[in-house]
């Protein structure tokens, strides 16, 4: 049973991610974050719900749209903003950027900008846990588009054959970059792709953090019991475009409108209000507190130094 | 009192004759007995002992938690190796034919090579990828490439090529101990070659050092893999004609031991590179460019001996004709030294 307190914590986490991403978008438009950035507004419940089902020892791998998972797992906001702004104080010394957020202390062992590349790595980490018998599981986040690439099928197959304790989480936001999923896959529910590999494939409302948490908890428990991998399809929606300045104009207006009404913050916020656990004033207060934290982190990052060529040189090879 | 590891290390030390194949197998066995985090992954490497029998008996000795038969999915199992490497193990992945490295190109070039860098130095990837390449086997265009130059331009990778049994043993053990991804190239035409060698710690060969196999004053010949013995055979023929070729086995292609090459060419003034890859992208290009850039004085323009810009042919006579032979290598060197070129 999920307590109101838990739900409220998840709400505040989702809110924090939302405000972080809004600021990231602003920084990108002001050219303070350069290159590219992939925002996750609208998908926060997936990150928060799945991460909540994990223990600190578990492994997490993710993709270029990974800010939400990084924050939900507890990665330092100062460190992420600094990374986004290419600073030496960034979580990856400013050498990685928006698409490569990792943190060894949080067992966030990989963040990949090649579609599908994280799945085999997650299976490898799961096998390490299995060989040591340390009870860890490995969770890997990826988008709907990744289910069309070879490594998805190869990794599910290998994980199943080896009974690897891994949870494959599809964040199905209905678009592989700019192209609707219905044009690139012959099925509606990507969770069906678990069946040939003889593992559970579950569809879940990815905008409902409680449901995401409950489903992830079950998959994690199964993996920890040594029963092998699961595939979770979290149906969700990207409020913004794919990346950079993409306004997402290729999406039908009615579709966008319907999904905006199903905003995870609205869904969970309504439940909390109904339970008398959240007021508009309190919500405003939370927002201003987070915005103050965010502004402070951005200020810190702006003042930080850039990495040097020597930093770059020193981090190509391990000694 | 000695520790178990020390006892094992002592037991590994021996001088004996081994084939290149046995040397590979023994290097794996020795690293596995010394370091319980060393794992093997690959196609048919368990009960079958590997397509070239380089892991024969290792499943039986170390068990199924150390030796893993994988599905035929190179990009995936290299990625799995990366995941194991960043979480405490030292996997050795076997690529049955070096040509199949192309299937795993993303895992190697975009993931393994850049993993440490993109994380700002947080992770090391102690992963060894063994790739069995090379012609002479009548395997045709997709099972005969040596492929070592596909990876020499990638920061984050080390690239090693073993031409003899002692180097196969010593370099492979060094590769497994290296905290970085190492591509370890073997040549299937060399598996039956025998050599007297030292095993154990004294048999280790450092990565990054070329070896001068034969001293000579007239010309420097740099080669890898099967081309090393063919170059040595050519040098023996030329010696009878009064041409003294210095033959260097490059051994590590990245990072390249330019100091050794430079010292040799400064002495001889002539350079020939001999490799089993199509000329346009061979490592000979980098050797020549680097030495030219370093201002090494050449008495004559350097020469590349490589495959023509044609995939290797199946037809036996044609395959033989396409591969540099001792005779063709000797003839090229002869012309260079006598000023015919």
Q: Examine the domain organization and report whether B187 and B254 are in the same domain.
A: no
Q: Give the domain extent around B144.
A: 4-203
Spatial CB neighbours of A19, under 8 Å, sequence gap ≥ 6: A287, A290, A291, A294
Could you give the CA distance from residue B295 to residue B293 in angstroms, rounded to a whole number?
5
Supply A205's token pair. 């409302």
Tell me the chain B residues in contact with residue A92 when contact means C-beta distances shorter than 8 Å: 118-120, 122
CA distance A57 to chain B (A): 12
Element (H, E) at B265: helix B258-268
Q: What are phi and psi of A306, to 5 degrees?
A: -80, 155
Positive or negative: CA dihedral A131, A135, A141, A142 = positive
Strand partners, B221: B247, B272
Residues B219 and B194 reside in one and the same domain = no
Transcribe A280-318 into DSSP letters.
Answer: HHHHHHHHHHHHHHHHHHHHHHHHSPPPPHHHHHHTSS-
Domain ranges of chain A: 4-302
Strand intervals (E) in chain A: 59-63, 108-112, 138-143, 166-172, 175-176, 179-180, 201-205, 230-235
Nearest to A236 by CA among A192, A212, A206: A206
Distance from CA of B211 to the nearest CA of A (A): 23
pLDDT value for B3:
55
DSSP string, B114-133: THHHHTTT------EEEEEE
Instruction: Please identify, among B203, B219, B248, the residue that sits at the C-terminal boundary of a domain.
Output: B203
Q: CA B177 from chain center: how many Å?
A: 16
Contact B203, B177 (CB under 8 A): no
SS3 track for A224-246: HCCCCCEEEEEECCCCCCCCCCC
Q: Do B158 and B236 fall into the same domain?
A: no
Chain A residues within 8 A of B118 when measuring between CB atoms? 92, 95-96, 100, 102, 111
pLDDT over 80 (residue B6): no
Q: Are residues B46 and B88 in the same domain?
A: yes
Question: Are A112 and A64 a contacting pair, CB within 8 Å?
Answer: yes
Could you tell me the maximum CA-CA distance found in chain A, to the nearest angstrom? 57
pLDDT digits (tens, 9 = 90+) for B108-133: 999 999 999 999 999 999 999 999 99
- B187 is an active site residue: no
Q: Of B80, B138, B140, B134, nearest to B104 (Cα)? A: B80
Nearest Cβ partner for B120 among A95, A151, A317: A95
- CATH code at A4-302: 3.40.50.970
pLDDT at A199: 98
Give φ, ψ of B253 to 5 degrees: -95, -25
Inter-chain CB proximity A158 and B84 less than 8 Å: no
pLDDT (average), residues B211-226: 98
Q: Is the pLDDT of residue B2 over 90?
A: no
- B293 and B195, same domain (yes or no): no
Listed residue (B311, B251, B307) closest to B280, CA to CA:
B307
Asked if A111 and A101 touch (Cβ cutoff 8 Å), the reply is: yes
Residue from A102, A129, A318 whose CB has the most chain B CBs within 10 Å, to mutate: A318
Contact predicate A158/B71, CB 8 Å = yes
The pLDDT, as a whole number, for residue B5 is 58
B126 and B199: one domain? yes
The alpha carbon of residue B126 is apart from the nearest alpha carbon of chain A, in Å, by 9
Around Cβ A279, how many Cβ atoms within 10 Å? 11
N- to C-terminal Cα distance for chain B?
A: 65
Closest by Cβ to A155, choosing from B76, B125, B158 = B76
* Residue B279 tokens, joined: 């000329």
Reading chain A (319 residues) residue by residue, the pLDDT tens digits are 899 999 999 999 999 999 999 999 999 999 999 999 999 999 999 999 999 999 999 999 999 999 999 999 999 999 999 999 999 999 999 999 999 999 999 999 999 999 999 999 999 999 999 999 999 999 999 999 999 999 999 999 999 999 999 999 999 999 988 999 999 999 999 999 999 999 999 999 999 999 999 999 999 999 999 999 999 999 999 999 888 888 888 999 999 999 999 999 999 999 999 999 999 999 999 999 999 999 999 999 999 999 999 999 999 999 9
Phi, psi of A131 (to 5 degrees): -65, -40
Question: Do you find a cis peptide bond into B255, omega within 30 degrees of 0?
Answer: yes
Contacts of B170 (CB under 8 A, 6+ apart): B27, B203, B204, B205
Question: Which residues of chain A does B70 touch, with a Cβ-Cβ cutoff of 8 Å?
Answer: 158
Q: What is the pLDDT of residue B248?
A: 98
Q: Which of residues 103-162 of A touch B (CB under 8 A)?
A: 103-104, 109-112, 114, 117, 119-129, 131-132, 138, 150-151, 154-155, 157-158, 161-162
Phi, psi of A88 (to 5 degrees): -65, -25
- B137 Cβ contact partners less than 8 Å away, ≥ 6 residues apart: B143, B144, B188, B189
The per-residue pLDDT for A222 is 98
- Residue where the block lists tokens 């949080």: A106
- Are A123 and B123 inside 8 Å of each other by CB? no
pLDDT at B7 over 80: no
Q: Is residue B230 predicted with pLDDT exceeding 90?
A: yes
What token pair was written down for A275?
């339970």
Residue B320 sits in the same domain as residue B185: no
Q: Could you say which of B158, B182, B203 is where a domain stops? A: B203
| Residue contact B76–A315, C-beta within 8 A | no
Domain harbouring B94, CATH code: 3.40.50.970
B238-287 confidence digits (pLDDT tens): 999 999 999 999 999 999 999 999 999 999 999 999 999 999 999 999 99
3-state secondary structure B89-105: CEEEEEECCHHHHHCCH
pLDDT of B159 over the 80 cut: yes
Q: Does one domain contain both B33 and B140?
A: yes
Q: Does B111 touch chain A (CB under 8 A)?
A: yes
ipTM above 0.95, yes or no: yes
B148 three-class SS: helix
Q: Note whether B104 and B139 are same-domain residues.
A: yes
**B198's tokens:** 């030292």
Average pLDDT, chain B: 96
List CB contacts of B329: < 8 A, sequence separation 6 or more: B221, B227, B230, B231, B233, B234, B272, B274, B305
Which residues face B69 on adjacent strands? B42
By C-alpha distance, which of B324, B18, B286, B58 is closest to B159? B286
B238: domain CATH number is: 3.40.50.920
Please give the Cα distance from B301 to B219 (Å, whole number). 12
pLDDT value of position B1: 45
How many distinct structural domains can be found in chain B? 2
CA B55 vs CA A162, A224, A251, A294, B67: distances in Å: 21, 32, 54, 55, 9
H or E element, residue A131: helix A118-132
Distance CA A111, CA B36 (A): 28
Question: Two tokens at A178?
Answer: 């700019």
If asked whether residues B127 and B11 sit together in one domain, one would say: yes
Is B31 designated active site?
no
| pLDDT value of residue B129 | 98
Tell me if residue B228 falls in helix, strand or coil.
helix
Q: Which of B145, B173, B203 is the last residue of a domain?
A: B203
B32 in contact with chain A, both atoms CB, cutoff 8 A: no
User: What pTM does this model have?
Assistant: 0.96
Work out the number of other CB atoms within 10 angstroms of the CB of residue B60: 12
A45 CA: distance to closest CA in chain B (Å): 26
Among partner residues B122, B124, B125, which is closest to A102 by beta-carbon distance?
B122
pLDDT at B4: 54
B186 and B225 share one domain = no
Distances (CA, A) of B132 to A197, B95, B234: 31, 7, 25
User: Shortest Cα distance from A108 to chain B (angstroms)?
Assistant: 10
- Contact criterion met (CB below 8 Å) for B326 and B233: yes
Q: Which residues of A touch B126 (CB under 8 A)?
A: 318
Chain B residue with the nearest C-alpha to that of A131 = B65
User: How far, CA to CA in Å, does A63 sit from each of A39, A96, A117, A145?
Assistant: 11, 13, 9, 12
Q: Which two tokens stand for residue A208?
A: 């409902």
User: Do residues B194 and B273 both lie within one domain?
Assistant: no
Q: Is B19 exposed, middle or buried (0-12, 13-18, 19+ CB in 10 A)?
A: middle
Terminal-residue alpha carbon distance, chain A: 49
Residue B24, H or E segment: helix B20-34
Q: Which residue has the tokens 């030219």?
A: B292
For B89, which residue in chain A has the nearest alpha carbon? A128
A278: three-class secondary structure by DSSP: coil
Q: Tell me the three state secondary structure of residue B170.
A: helix
């Amino acid at each position: 049973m999920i307590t109101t307190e838990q739900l409220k914590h998840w709400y505040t986490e989702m809110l924090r991610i939302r405000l972080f991403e809004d600021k990231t978008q602003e920084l990108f438009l002001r050219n303070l974050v350069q290159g590219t950035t992939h925002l996750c507004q609208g998908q926060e419940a997936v990150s928060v719900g799945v991460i909540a089902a994990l223990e600190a020892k578990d492994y997490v791998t993710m993709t270029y749209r990974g800010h939400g998972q990084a924050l939900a797992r507890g990665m330092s906001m100062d460190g992420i903003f600094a990374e986004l702004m290419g600073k030496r104080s960034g979580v990856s010394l400013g050498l990685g950027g928006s698409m490569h957020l990792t943190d060894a202390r949080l067992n966030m062992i990989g963040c990949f900008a090649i579609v599908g590349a994280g799945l085999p790595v997650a299976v490898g980490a799961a096998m390490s846990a299995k060989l040591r018998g340390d009870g860890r599981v490995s969770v890997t986040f990826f988008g709907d588009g990744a289910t069309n690439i070879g490594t998805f099928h190869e990794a599910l197959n290998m994980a199943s054959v080896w009974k690897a304790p891994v949870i494959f989480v599809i964040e199905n936001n209905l678009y592989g970059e700019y192209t609707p999923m219905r044009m690139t896959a012959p099925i509606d529910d990507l969770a069906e792709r678990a069946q040939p590999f003889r593992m559970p494939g579950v569809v879940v409302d990815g905008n409902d953090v409680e449901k995401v948490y409950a489903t992830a908890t079950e998959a994690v428990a199964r993996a920890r019991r040594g029963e092998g991998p699961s595939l979770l399809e979290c149906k969700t929606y990207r409020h913004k475009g794919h990346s950079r300045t993409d306004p997402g104009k290729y999406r039908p207006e009615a579709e966008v409108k319907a999904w905006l009404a199903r905003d995870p913050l609205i869904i969970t916020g309504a439940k909390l209000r109904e339970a008398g656990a959240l007021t508009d004033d309190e919500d405003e207060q939370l927002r201003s507190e987070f915005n103050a934290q965010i502004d402070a982190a951005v200020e810190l990052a702006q003042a930080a130094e850039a990495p040097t060529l020597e930093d770059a040189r020193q981090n190509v090879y391990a000694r | 009192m000695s520790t178990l590891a020390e006892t094992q290390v002592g037991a590994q030390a021996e001088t004996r004759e081994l084939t290149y194949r046995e040397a590979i197998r023994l290097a794996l066995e020795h690293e596995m007995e010394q370091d319980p985090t060393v794992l093997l992954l690959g196609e048919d490497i368990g009960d079958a002992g590997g397509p070239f029998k380089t892991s024969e008996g290792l499943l039986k000795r170390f068990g199924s938690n150390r030796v893993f038969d994988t599905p035929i999915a190179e990009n995936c199992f290299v990625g799995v190796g990366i995941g194991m490497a960043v979480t405490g193990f030292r996997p050795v992945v076997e690529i049955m034919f070096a040509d199949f490295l192309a299937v795993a190109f993303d895992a190697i070039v975009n993931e393994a090579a850049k993993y440490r860098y993109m994380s700002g130095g947080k992770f090391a990837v102690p992963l060894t990828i063994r790739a069995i390449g090379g012609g002479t086997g009548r395997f045709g265009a997709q099972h005969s490439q040596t492929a070592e130059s596909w990876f020499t331009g990638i920061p984050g990778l080390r690239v090693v090529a073993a031409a003899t049994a002692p180097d196969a043993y010593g370099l492979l053990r060094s590769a497994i101990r290296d905290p970085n991804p190492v591509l370890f190239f073997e040549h299937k035409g060399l598996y039956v070659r025998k050599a007297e060698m030292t095993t154990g710690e004294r048999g280790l060969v450092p990565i990054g050092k070329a070896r001068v196999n034969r001293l000579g004053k007239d010309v420097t010949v740099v080669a890898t893999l099967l081309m090393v013995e063919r170059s040595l055979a050519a040098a023996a023929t030329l010696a009878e004609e009064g041409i003294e070729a210095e033959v260097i086995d490059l051994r590590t292609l990245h990072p390249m031991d330019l100091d050794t090459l430079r010292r040799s060419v400064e002495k001889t003034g002539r350079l020939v590179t001999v490799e089993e890859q199509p000329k346009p992208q061979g490592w000979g290009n980098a050797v020549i460019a680097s030495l030219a850039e370093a201002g090494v004085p050449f008495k004559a323009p350097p020469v590349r001996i490589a495959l023509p810009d044609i995939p290797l042919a199946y037809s036996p006579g044609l395959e033989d004709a396409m591969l540099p032979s001792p005779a063709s290598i000797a003839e090229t060197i002869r012309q260079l030294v006598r000023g015919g070129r």
